[in-house]
Amino acid sequence: MKTDVNGISTYFEEYGPKDAPTVLVLPGWMAKASLYRIVSDTLSDKYHVILLDMPGFTGDTPEPPEAWDLDGFVDFTISFIKTLEIQSLTLIGHSFGGRIIIKMMNRPDLPFITERIVLIDAAGIRHELSGKAKRRQQMFKLAKHFMSEKQVEHYKETHGSADYRAASPLMRECMVKAINEDLTELLPGVKQETLLIWGTADTATPISDGEMMEQKMPDAGLARIEGAGHFSFADEPVIFGNILLSYFK
């Protein structure tokens, strides 16, 4: 299904009765909406579940008109909720989707009520670079003074993360702008009841991030999935589904 959001033809999937309480799922960076069907499979008997495809993530929703920072994605999400005329909802965010939710919950006067939140292996806490990474960064900054623009881009393509290498030039700009913001100081601003679901073997957003969020958010609880990684819902779908069902009961 598609709807127009500020001129962007936005793809989303919709499950469950439309007159039931709404659950909106925000994806991880460059992840398809369909990856999160475990949420709709688990909850759609009693909830209206919407899986959103973010601009530029998969091609189902086109890229944003310019390189957005995190606030750009927050603005888009708010506009999507307004477009669907949703008055109240539960928000679920995985990885980058969690980053959007944390920033959004610190906005004053949102045009909807957030009943509660589920964050799955959420991003938002910036970590100190390792000594090796710092040295690599310093060498790159120095080398940039002697490189052409083409050489700089080639360096990024060969040394950047898999997500960076796979992205288009515009989405690379979005990535650099959106994922570098440290949201640690915003965690106390997430006042809603929040369930944190985390894989203990997550290396992208380690379990210590979940523990910090539990400590700093006023009304948060942490559910650990032993041995699961950054996509804990895919690594252990049965355990994840049971946690979700238990919480929503």
pLDDT band at 159 (very low <50, low <70, confident <90, very high): very low
| pLDDT over 50 at 137, yes or no | no
Answer whether 98's CB lies under 8 Å from 123's CB. yes
Share of the chain above pLDDT 70, in %: 84
Q: Choose the weakest-confidence range: 48-57, 94-103, 142-151, 161-170.
A: 142-151
Q: Strands 8-15 and 48-52: what pairing? A: antiparallel
**Tokens standing for residue 165:** 């290498």
Q: Are 53 and 62 in contact (CB under 8 A)?
A: no
**pLDDT-based confidence at residue 127 (cuts at 50, 70, 90):** confident
The identity of residue 4, as a single letter, is D
pLDDT of residue 133: 47
Q: What is the mean pLDDT of residues 112-138?
A: 78
- Does the structure show a pLDDT above 80 at 166? no
Q: How many C-beta atoms lie closer than 10 Å to residue 84's C-beta?
A: 19
pLDDT digits (tens, 9 = 90+) for 179-218: 889 999 999 999 999 999 999 999 999 999 999 999 999 9
Q: Supply the pLDDT for residue 162.
A: 61
Residue 59 confidence (pLDDT):
86
Amino acid at 168: S
Position 147 scores a pLDDT of 64
